Protein backbone atom coordinates (compact mmCIF):
# COMPACT_ATOMS: atom_id res chain seq x y z
CA UNK A 1 0.00 0.00 0.00
CA UNK A 2 2.84 2.38 0.80
CA UNK A 3 4.89 1.75 -2.33
CA UNK A 4 3.10 4.70 -3.97
CA UNK A 5 3.83 7.19 -1.17
CA UNK A 6 5.42 10.39 -2.52
CA UNK A 7 6.75 13.55 -0.88
CA UNK A 8 6.97 16.80 -2.88
CA UNK A 9 8.77 19.92 -1.63
CA UNK A 10 8.74 23.45 -3.09
CA UNK A 11 11.01 26.27 -1.95
CA UNK A 12 10.29 28.75 -4.77
CA UNK A 13 7.25 30.02 -6.63
CA UNK A 14 8.10 28.10 -9.81
CA UNK A 15 7.77 24.73 -8.09
CA UNK A 16 4.69 25.56 -6.00
CA UNK A 17 2.03 24.58 -8.60
CA UNK A 18 3.17 20.98 -9.00
CA UNK A 19 3.68 20.70 -5.25
CA UNK A 20 0.43 22.13 -3.90
CA UNK A 21 -2.11 21.61 -6.66
CA UNK A 22 -2.63 17.90 -7.30
CA UNK A 23 -6.20 17.37 -8.47
CA UNK A 24 -6.50 20.98 -9.64
CA UNK A 25 -5.76 22.95 -12.79
CA UNK A 26 -4.04 26.25 -11.99
CA UNK A 27 -5.53 29.48 -13.33
CA UNK A 28 -3.29 31.78 -11.29
CA UNK A 29 -0.74 31.08 -8.59
CA UNK A 30 1.61 33.75 -7.32
CA UNK A 31 3.01 34.79 -3.99
CA UNK A 32 1.98 38.11 -2.51
CA UNK A 33 5.00 38.95 -0.41
CA UNK A 34 8.37 37.72 0.86
CA UNK A 35 11.08 35.54 -0.70
CA UNK A 36 10.81 32.67 1.77
CA UNK A 37 8.48 30.04 0.34
CA UNK A 38 8.16 26.46 1.55
CA UNK A 39 5.37 24.13 0.51
CA UNK A 40 5.03 20.37 0.86
CA UNK A 41 2.65 17.71 -0.42
CA UNK A 42 2.53 14.10 0.71
CA UNK A 43 0.51 11.76 -1.49
CA UNK A 44 -0.57 8.16 -1.02
CA UNK A 45 -2.35 6.13 -3.70
CA UNK A 46 -4.67 4.04 -1.56
CA UNK A 47 -6.66 2.29 -4.32
CA UNK A 48 -7.10 2.65 -8.10
CA UNK A 49 -8.37 6.16 -8.82
CA UNK A 50 -8.29 7.27 -5.16
CA UNK A 51 -5.49 9.06 -3.31
CA UNK A 52 -5.06 10.68 0.11
CA UNK A 53 -2.97 13.85 0.13
CA UNK A 54 -1.82 16.41 2.66
CA UNK A 55 -0.69 19.82 1.36
CA UNK A 56 1.08 22.27 3.67
CA UNK A 57 2.23 25.85 3.25
CA UNK A 58 4.99 26.21 5.83
CA UNK A 59 6.15 29.70 4.86
CA UNK A 60 5.06 32.26 2.30
CA UNK A 61 1.88 34.17 1.44
CA UNK A 62 0.27 32.71 -1.69
CA UNK A 63 -2.66 33.53 -3.97
CA UNK A 64 -4.23 30.45 -5.58
CA UNK A 65 -6.94 30.51 -8.25
CA UNK A 66 -7.59 27.03 -9.64
CA UNK A 67 -10.28 24.58 -10.72
CA UNK A 68 -10.96 20.95 -9.89
CA UNK A 69 -9.66 18.84 -12.78
CA UNK A 70 -12.26 17.51 -15.24
CA UNK A 71 -13.80 14.28 -14.02
CA UNK A 72 -12.35 14.57 -10.51
CA UNK A 73 -13.98 14.98 -7.11
CA UNK A 74 -12.12 16.34 -4.08
CA UNK A 75 -13.26 16.01 -0.48
CA UNK A 76 -11.09 17.78 2.09
CA UNK A 77 -10.68 19.31 5.52
CA UNK A 78 -8.58 22.25 6.68
CA UNK A 79 -6.17 20.95 9.31
CA UNK A 80 -5.04 24.49 10.11
CA UNK A 81 -6.15 28.07 9.64
CA UNK A 82 -6.55 29.26 6.04
CA UNK A 83 -8.17 32.24 4.31
CA UNK A 84 -10.63 31.64 1.50
CA UNK A 85 -11.06 35.02 -0.21
CA UNK A 86 -12.73 36.99 2.50
CA UNK A 87 -13.61 34.14 4.86
CA UNK A 88 -11.39 32.55 7.49
CA UNK A 89 -11.60 28.75 7.67
CA UNK A 90 -10.43 26.83 10.69
CA UNK A 91 -10.22 23.14 11.47
CA UNK A 92 -13.70 21.69 11.82
CA UNK A 93 -14.95 22.52 8.32
CA UNK A 94 -15.25 20.05 5.47
CA UNK A 95 -15.38 21.00 1.77
CA UNK A 96 -16.19 19.18 -1.46
CA UNK A 97 -15.97 20.18 -5.11
CA UNK A 98 -16.06 18.42 -8.48
CA UNK A 99 -15.30 18.60 -12.18
CA UNK A 100 -14.26 22.16 -13.02
CA UNK A 101 -15.45 23.93 -9.86
CA UNK A 102 -13.37 27.09 -9.42
CA UNK A 103 -11.48 27.37 -6.14
CA UNK A 104 -10.08 30.65 -4.76
CA UNK A 105 -7.71 30.68 -1.80
CA UNK A 106 -5.36 33.09 -0.06
CA UNK A 107 -3.00 30.76 1.80
CA UNK A 108 -0.73 31.96 4.58
CA UNK A 109 1.22 29.79 7.02
CA UNK A 110 0.56 27.61 8.76
CA UNK A 111 -1.92 26.14 6.29
CA UNK A 112 -2.54 22.41 6.03
CA UNK A 113 -5.23 20.77 3.91
CA UNK A 114 -5.95 17.03 3.99
CA UNK A 115 -7.96 15.73 1.05
CA UNK A 116 -9.22 12.60 -0.65
CA UNK A 117 -9.06 12.84 -4.45
CA UNK A 118 -11.35 10.66 -6.56
CA UNK A 119 -10.72 10.29 -10.28
CA UNK A 120 -12.54 8.65 -13.20
CA UNK A 121 -14.73 5.71 -12.15
CA UNK A 122 -14.52 6.44 -8.42
CA UNK A 123 -15.71 10.03 -8.92
CA UNK A 124 -18.45 8.89 -11.31
CA UNK A 125 -19.80 6.49 -8.70
CA UNK A 126 -20.19 9.29 -6.16
CA UNK A 127 -21.47 11.87 -8.67
CA UNK A 128 -24.06 9.48 -10.08
CA UNK A 129 -26.67 11.12 -7.85
CA UNK A 130 -27.98 14.28 -9.64
CA UNK A 131 -28.26 16.28 -6.40
CA UNK A 132 -24.65 15.60 -5.47
CA UNK A 133 -23.42 16.43 -8.96
CA UNK A 134 -25.34 19.72 -9.11
CA UNK A 135 -24.18 20.82 -5.65
CA UNK A 136 -20.52 19.97 -6.20
CA UNK A 137 -20.20 21.52 -9.67
CA UNK A 138 -22.09 24.76 -9.03
CA UNK A 139 -20.31 28.01 -8.28
CA UNK A 140 -20.81 28.44 -4.52
CA UNK A 141 -21.80 31.72 -2.92
CA UNK A 142 -19.51 30.83 -0.03
CA UNK A 143 -15.98 32.27 -0.30
CA UNK A 144 -14.50 29.87 -2.82
CA UNK A 145 -13.78 26.22 -1.96
CA UNK A 146 -16.98 24.46 -2.95
CA UNK A 147 -19.72 23.00 -0.80
CA UNK A 148 -18.57 23.76 2.77
CA UNK A 149 -20.13 22.68 6.05
CA UNK A 150 -19.19 21.96 9.63
CA UNK A 151 -17.64 18.51 9.68
CA UNK A 152 -20.23 15.76 10.16
CA UNK A 153 -19.89 12.37 11.95
CA UNK A 154 -19.22 10.42 8.75
CA UNK A 155 -16.68 12.98 7.61
CA UNK A 156 -14.91 12.84 10.97
CA UNK A 157 -14.58 9.04 10.75
CA UNK A 158 -13.42 9.26 7.15
CA UNK A 159 -10.71 11.84 7.78
CA UNK A 160 -9.57 10.36 11.09
CA UNK A 161 -8.87 7.20 9.12
CA UNK A 162 -7.17 9.18 6.33
CA UNK A 163 -4.87 10.89 8.87
CA UNK A 164 -3.96 7.57 10.49
CA UNK A 165 -3.16 5.93 7.17
CA UNK A 166 -1.13 8.94 6.01
CA UNK A 167 0.82 9.03 9.29
CA UNK A 168 1.61 5.32 8.97
CA UNK A 169 2.72 5.80 5.35
CA UNK A 170 5.02 8.69 6.33
CA UNK A 171 6.58 6.57 9.09
CA UNK A 172 7.11 3.67 6.70
CA UNK A 173 8.72 6.01 4.15
CA UNK A 174 11.18 7.15 6.85
CA UNK A 175 11.99 3.55 7.71
CA UNK A 176 10.24 3.68 11.06
CA UNK A 177 8.21 0.74 12.36
CA UNK A 178 5.08 2.06 14.03
CA UNK A 179 1.99 0.17 15.19
CA UNK A 180 -0.20 -1.20 12.42
CA UNK A 181 -3.48 0.61 11.79
CA UNK A 182 -6.26 -1.87 12.44
CA UNK A 183 -9.10 0.00 10.71
CA UNK A 184 -8.86 -0.22 6.91
CA UNK A 185 -11.28 1.10 4.32
CA UNK A 186 -11.68 -0.90 1.15
CA UNK A 187 -12.53 0.81 -2.13
CA UNK A 188 -16.27 0.18 -1.80
CA UNK A 189 -16.35 1.44 1.80
CA UNK A 190 -14.37 4.54 0.85
CA UNK A 191 -16.79 5.40 -1.95
CA UNK A 192 -19.88 4.69 0.16
CA UNK A 193 -18.66 6.69 3.17
CA UNK A 194 -17.68 9.63 0.97
CA UNK A 195 -21.09 9.65 -0.71
CA UNK A 196 -22.77 9.47 2.71
CA UNK A 197 -20.58 12.32 3.98
CA UNK A 198 -21.59 14.53 1.03
CA UNK A 199 -25.27 13.67 1.55
CA UNK A 200 -24.95 14.76 5.19
CA UNK A 201 -23.33 18.00 4.01
CA UNK A 202 -26.26 18.66 1.69
CA UNK A 203 -28.73 18.17 4.52
CA UNK A 204 -26.78 20.27 7.02
CA UNK A 205 -28.41 23.67 7.54
CA UNK A 206 -25.49 25.25 9.38
CA UNK A 207 -23.39 26.04 6.35
CA UNK A 208 -21.28 29.17 6.33
CA UNK A 209 -23.63 31.89 5.15
CA UNK A 210 -22.80 35.00 3.19
CA UNK A 211 -24.93 37.98 2.33
CA UNK A 212 -24.90 40.29 -0.66
CA UNK A 213 -22.43 42.77 0.83
CA UNK A 214 -19.49 40.34 1.34
CA UNK A 215 -20.29 38.72 -2.00
CA UNK A 216 -20.08 42.09 -3.75
CA UNK A 217 -16.75 42.82 -2.04
CA UNK A 218 -15.41 39.49 -3.28
CA UNK A 219 -16.50 40.32 -6.83
CA UNK A 220 -14.99 43.80 -6.57
CA UNK A 221 -11.66 42.42 -5.35
CA UNK A 222 -11.57 40.02 -8.32
CA UNK A 223 -12.29 42.86 -10.75
CA UNK A 224 -9.49 45.00 -9.30
CA UNK A 225 -7.07 42.05 -9.42
CA UNK A 226 -7.87 41.43 -13.10
CA UNK A 227 -7.37 45.12 -13.93
CA UNK A 228 -3.99 45.16 -12.19
CA UNK A 229 -2.76 42.14 -14.15
CA UNK A 230 -3.34 43.90 -17.46
CA UNK A 231 -0.01 45.12 -18.92
CA UNK A 232 0.59 48.80 -18.06
CA UNK A 233 1.03 49.48 -21.79
CA UNK A 234 -2.70 48.81 -22.21
CA UNK A 235 -3.71 51.33 -19.56
CA UNK A 236 -3.24 54.44 -21.70
CA UNK A 237 -1.22 57.53 -20.77
CA UNK A 238 -2.11 57.47 -17.07
CA UNK A 239 -0.76 54.73 -14.76
CA UNK A 240 -3.36 52.60 -13.01
CA UNK A 241 -4.22 54.27 -9.72
CA UNK A 242 -6.76 53.85 -6.97
CA UNK A 243 -8.62 56.90 -8.29
CA UNK A 244 -8.98 55.82 -11.91
CA UNK A 245 -9.70 52.21 -10.90
CA UNK A 246 -12.55 53.42 -8.68
CA UNK A 247 -13.83 55.57 -11.54
CA UNK A 248 -13.63 52.68 -14.03
CA UNK A 249 -15.51 50.32 -11.70
CA UNK A 250 -18.07 52.90 -10.61
CA UNK A 251 -17.32 52.66 -6.90
CA UNK A 252 -15.51 54.58 -4.17
CA UNK A 253 -11.84 54.36 -3.20
CA UNK A 254 -12.94 53.22 0.24
CA UNK A 255 -14.98 50.35 -1.23
CA UNK A 256 -11.94 49.08 -3.13
CA UNK A 257 -9.64 49.32 -0.13
CA UNK A 258 -12.15 47.55 2.09
CA UNK A 259 -12.67 44.76 -0.45
CA UNK A 260 -8.94 44.20 -1.02
CA UNK A 261 -8.10 44.22 2.67
CA UNK A 262 -10.91 41.78 3.41
CA UNK A 263 -10.12 39.42 0.54
CA UNK A 264 -6.35 39.69 0.08
CA UNK A 265 -5.29 41.04 3.44
CA UNK A 266 -3.59 44.04 1.77
CA UNK A 267 -4.51 47.34 0.18
CA UNK A 268 -4.42 48.61 -3.41
CA UNK A 269 -0.80 49.83 -3.44
CA UNK A 270 0.62 46.63 -1.92
CA UNK A 271 -1.33 44.36 -4.30
CA UNK A 272 -0.39 46.45 -7.33
CA UNK A 273 3.29 46.36 -6.33
CA UNK A 274 3.21 42.56 -5.91
CA UNK A 275 1.64 42.08 -9.34
CA UNK A 276 4.01 44.54 -11.06
CA UNK A 277 7.01 42.77 -9.51
CA UNK A 278 5.77 39.46 -10.90
CA UNK A 279 5.29 41.02 -14.35
CA UNK A 280 8.82 42.46 -14.31
CA UNK A 281 10.20 39.16 -13.01
CA UNK A 282 8.73 37.27 -15.97
CA UNK A 283 10.80 39.43 -18.36
CA UNK A 284 13.95 39.28 -16.24
CA UNK A 285 13.81 35.49 -16.29
CA UNK A 286 14.15 35.62 -20.06
CA UNK A 287 17.53 37.26 -19.59
CA UNK A 288 18.32 40.97 -19.86
CA UNK A 289 21.56 42.95 -20.18
CA UNK A 290 22.20 45.49 -17.39
CA UNK A 291 20.88 48.42 -19.43
CA UNK A 292 17.58 46.64 -20.00
CA UNK A 293 16.80 46.28 -16.29
CA UNK A 294 16.04 49.99 -15.94
CA UNK A 295 13.79 49.85 -19.03
CA UNK A 296 11.89 46.86 -17.64
CA UNK A 297 11.48 48.61 -14.29
CA UNK A 298 10.04 51.72 -15.97
CA UNK A 299 7.73 49.59 -18.15
CA UNK A 300 6.15 48.29 -14.94
CA UNK A 301 5.89 51.69 -13.26
CA UNK A 302 9.06 51.57 -11.12
CA UNK A 303 10.69 54.84 -12.10
CA UNK A 304 13.48 54.70 -9.50
CA UNK A 305 15.88 51.82 -10.28
CA UNK A 306 17.34 51.69 -6.77
CA UNK A 307 13.92 51.48 -5.17
CA UNK A 308 12.86 48.81 -7.70
CA UNK A 309 15.93 46.76 -6.75
CA UNK A 310 15.05 47.06 -3.05
CA UNK A 311 11.45 45.97 -3.60
CA UNK A 312 12.53 43.15 -5.90
CA UNK A 313 15.12 41.77 -3.50
CA UNK A 314 12.70 41.93 -0.56
CA UNK A 315 10.12 40.08 -2.65
CA UNK A 316 12.20 37.45 -4.48
CA UNK A 317 15.34 37.21 -2.36
CA UNK A 318 17.72 38.15 -5.21
CA UNK A 319 18.62 41.36 -7.06
CA UNK A 320 17.14 42.00 -10.53
CA UNK A 321 20.62 41.73 -12.05
CA UNK A 322 21.11 38.30 -10.48
CA UNK A 323 17.81 37.07 -11.90
CA UNK A 324 18.57 38.46 -15.35
CA UNK A 325 22.01 36.82 -15.48
CA UNK A 326 20.65 33.44 -14.38
CA UNK A 327 18.50 32.66 -17.42
CA UNK A 328 16.93 29.19 -17.14
CA UNK A 329 16.53 26.76 -20.05
CA UNK A 330 13.45 27.52 -22.17
CA UNK A 331 11.64 24.40 -20.98
CA UNK A 332 11.93 25.50 -17.34
CA UNK A 333 10.45 28.98 -17.69
CA UNK A 334 7.23 28.19 -15.87
CA UNK A 335 7.27 31.53 -14.08
CA UNK A 336 5.83 32.39 -10.72
CA UNK A 337 2.78 33.82 -12.46
CA UNK A 338 0.31 31.29 -13.85
CA UNK A 339 -2.36 33.28 -15.65
CA UNK A 340 -4.90 32.41 -18.32
Q: Determine the average pLDDT of the residues in 270-288.
A: 90
Quick one: pLDDT at residue 166?
Answer: 86
Q: Determine the average pLDDT of the residues in 214-241.
A: 86
Show the DSSP H helices in the chain as ranges.
16-20, 120-126, 130-137, 153-173, 187-203, 212-229, 242-249, 253-263, 268-284, 290-299, 305-316, 320-325
CA distance 283 to 324: 8
Quick one: pLDDT at residue 229?
Answer: 94
Terminal alpha carbon distance of the chain: 38
CA distance 170 to 173: 5
CA distance 258 to 267: 8
Confidence of residue 212 (pLDDT cuts 50, 70, 90): very low
> What digits encode the pLDDT tens for the residues 16-69?
777 877 888 888 888 888 778 899 999 988 888 899 999 888 888 888 888 888
Show the DSSP H helices in 204-266 as ranges.
212-229, 242-249, 253-263
List domains and CATH numbers for the chain: 2-208 (2.60.120.10), 213-326 (1.10.10.60)
- Exposure string of 72-83, with b = 16+ CB inside 10 Å and e = fewer, is bbbbbbbbeebb
Residue 4 contacts by C-beta under 8 Å, 6 or more apart in sequence? Answer: 43, 44, 45
Nearest Cα neighbor of 302 from 326, 278, 323 is 278
> What digits encode the pLDDT tens for the residues 167-190?
888 888 877 765 554 446 778 888
Nearest Cα neighbor of 43 from 119, 114, 136 is 114
> What digits encode the pLDDT tens for the residues 132-174?
888 787 644 444 556 777 788 899 889 988 888 888 888 888 7
Answer yes or no: are the C-beta atoms of 330 and 277 closer than 8 Å: no
Confidence of residue 14 (pLDDT cuts 50, 70, 90): confident
What distances in angstroms separate CA 58 from CA 15, 27, 64, 76, 181, one per listed residue?
A: 14, 22, 15, 19, 28
Amino acid sequence: MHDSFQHFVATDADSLPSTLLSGFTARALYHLWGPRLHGERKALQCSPGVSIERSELISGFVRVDCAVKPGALILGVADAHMRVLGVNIRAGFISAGADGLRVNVIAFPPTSFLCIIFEADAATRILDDPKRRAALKSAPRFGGIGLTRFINPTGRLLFDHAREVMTEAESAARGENGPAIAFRLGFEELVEMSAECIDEMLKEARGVATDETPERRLQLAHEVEEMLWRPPSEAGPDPVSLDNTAQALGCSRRSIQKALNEVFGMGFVALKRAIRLHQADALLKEGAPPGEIARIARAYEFNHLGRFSQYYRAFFGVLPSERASDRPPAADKAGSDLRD
